[in-house]
A and B are shown apart, each in its own frame.
Chain A
Amino acid sequence: MSQISPYKKPISLGFIVKKPGILSLIQDSGRFGSFNLGLTNGGPLDRPAFYWANRLCGNKINSSVIEITMGGLILIAQVDTVVAVAGASIPMAINGEQKEVWRSYQIKAGDTLSFGFSQIGIRSYLAVKGGFIIPQVFGSASTVCRESIGGLNGDKIKINDILPCEKHSSIKKSADGDNHLQLAEQYRPSYSNNVILRTVAGYQQSNFLPEQQRLFYSSQYCVSKYYDRMGYRLEGRQITSSIENIVSEGICHGAIQIPADGQPIVLLNDRQTIGGYPKIGSVIALDTAKISQLSQGGKVEFRKITIDDAHQIFHQNINVINQIKLTHCN
Chain B
Amino acid sequence: MTTNFSIEIAGENALIIYFNQHLNKHVIPVIIQLSQKLIRDKLNRELIDLIPAYGSIVIFFDMAIMDHHQLTERIQAILANVTSMPNQLSNLKTEIKINIVELPVYYSLESGPDLAKIANQANLTIEQVIELHQSQTYQVFTIGFAPGFAYLGDVDERIATPRLNTPRHKVPKGSVGIADNQTAVYPSDSPGGWNIIGLCPIDMFSLNATPAMPIKVGDTVKFYRISKSEFLALGGILGALS
Contact = CB atoms under 8 A, between A and B. Distances in A.
Interface of A: 1-2, 4, 6, 32-39, 41, 137-138, 146-149, 200-203, 247-255, 272-274, 282, 284-285, 307-308, 310-311, 314-315, 318
B149 A38 contact: yes
B53 A4 contact: no
6 contacts: A138-B212, A249-B55, A250-B14, A285-B12, A314-B12, A315-B63
Contact of B16 (A33, A249, A307, A315): A249
B14 A252 contact: yes
B30 interface: no
B146 interface: yes
Contact of A282 (B11, B48, B68): B11
Contacts of B57: 250
A202 B188 contact: no
Sorted nearest first, the 8 A-B pairs with minimum C-beta distance are: A250-B51, A250-B58, A282-B11, A274-B144, A310-B12, A252-B11, A202-B9, A252-B14
Nearest to A279: B10
A35 B54 contact: no
Interface stretch (B85-93, B102-110, B114-122, B201-209): B201-209
B142 A274 contact: yes
Interface in B202-239: 205-208, 212-213, 216-217
Given A249-B53, A282-B14, A307-B12, A274 B145 contact: yes
A196 to B, nearest CB: 15
Contact of A318 (B54, B60, B64): B64
Interface in B133-159: 142-149
Contacts of B53: 247-250, 274
Contacts of B20: none
Contact of A272 (B11, B48, B145): B145
Residue among B8, B10, B206, B213 having the largest count of chain A Cβ atoms under 10 Å? B10
Contacts of A201: 9
Given A252-B14, A273-B144, 16 more contacts: A1-B187, A33-B49, A38-B143, A138-B212, A148-B188, A149-B207, A202-B9, A202-B16, A247-B55, A250-B52, A250-B58, A252-B13, A252-B58, A255-B10, A314-B12, A314-B64
A251 B64 CA distance: 21
A249 B56 contact: yes
B78 interface: no
Contact of A252 (B36, B60, B188): B60
B160 interface: no
